[in-house]
Amino acid sequence: MHATPTIRAVPSTGYEELLSYLSALMRDSGRNGQPHFTANRDRDVYDKPFNDRIRARLALPLQRRGWIRLWIAVDGDETLGHVDLRASDRTADAHRVLLGLGIAKAHRGRGLGRALTQYAIDWARTNGHDWVDLNVFAVNAQAVALYRSLGFVQTGFHADRFRIDGDSVDEISMALDLRT
């Protein structure tokens, strides 16, 4: 039996702590025809300009467009998974946030995805957002089922959205209306 993980916010000054976790998550996504996290597996997570932009967005106050909020599930010093919410740079869709989720391979199937997603939903609702949007690989049936069980509905389908190791991967867009 695993201990109950702690969910905690990642400040802009703590982003570097996640780089090895993110690197492993990205390398694993798409292996053996099972994409689960990103189609961008070859991105260098240690790229300083990219990380500087992420840190800057993590530091933005909510009143500014383009902010990011990031939370991790930890057990001791080990990062088990993460969830993030992102605001766009446009004022016209300030009522919506985009959700991203990743769970380390060894910790999938333990309910961490549900706990982290619910945490982000509650945070978005508390902070006055009306919608949570996300994109998920269509082949990731476990994630699609999780999001549906939390009330997300499909809002779009993108056939052949990505090519990962030469395999065509479809993408589903989903949204959760927080006003209900």
Going by C-alpha positions, the residue among 100, 101, 74 that lies closest to residue 14 is 74
Q: For residue range 37-56, what is the model confidence (pLDDT) as tens digits?
A: 554 555 677 788 888 999 99
Whole-number Å distance between alpha carbons of 110 and 90: 36
Tokens of 28: 């694993």
Minimal CA–CA distance to 74: which of 136, 16, 12, 2?
Answer: 2
Instruction: Give the CA count within 13 Å in the CB-facing half-sphere of 135.
Output: 14
The domains located in the chain, with CATH, are 6-134 (3.40.630.30)
Burial of 12 (0-12, 13-18, 19+ CB in 10 A): middle
Residues 6 or more apart whose Cβ sits within 8 Å of residue 19:
45, 46, 51
The one-letter code for the residue type at 92 is A
pLDDT at res. 89: 93
Q: Tell me the whole-structure pTM to 2 decimals.
A: 0.91
Instruction: Read off the pLDDT of residues 127-175 as tens digits, 9 standing for 90 and up.
Output: 999 999 999 989 889 999 999 999 999 999 999 998 877 888 899 999 9
Residue-by-residue DSSP string for 115-153: HHHHHHHHHHHHTT--EEEEEEETT-HHHHHHHHHTT-E
pLDDT at position 1:
38
pLDDT in tens, 90-108: 999 999 999 999 998 889 8
Per-residue pLDDT tens over the stretch 71-86: 999 999 899 999 999 9
